[in-house]
Amino acid sequence: DKLMGELHEQGKTIDDIAECLKTAPLPPQSVSAIKSAYSLG
């Protein structure tokens, strides 16, 4: 939550973060965790 708050303070949007995640080399478990967290709001 702290990191997301800092990114928001810098003017980053959810769309900015989503674009970065598309190119980041993440293990499948991390992708699944991110999708689960996103679906929970």
DSSP string, 1-41: -HHHHHHHHTT--HHHHHHHHHHS---HHHHHHHHHHHHH-
pLDDT given at position 12: 94
The tally of domains found in the chain comes to 1
Range of the domain at 25: 2-40
Given a cut of 80, whether residue 1 has pLDDT beyond it is no
pLDDT given at position 21: 82
CB 7 within 8 A of CB 17: yes
pLDDT digits (tens, 9 = 90+) for 4-41: 889 999 999 989 988 988 898 889 898 899 889 889 87
* Reported pTM: 0.51
Q: Determine the distance from the C-alpha atom of residue 6 to the mean position of all C-alpha atoms in its chain, rounded to a whole number.
A: 13
Long-range CB contacts (< 8 A, 24+ apart) of 32-38?
A: none
pLDDT given at position 6: 93
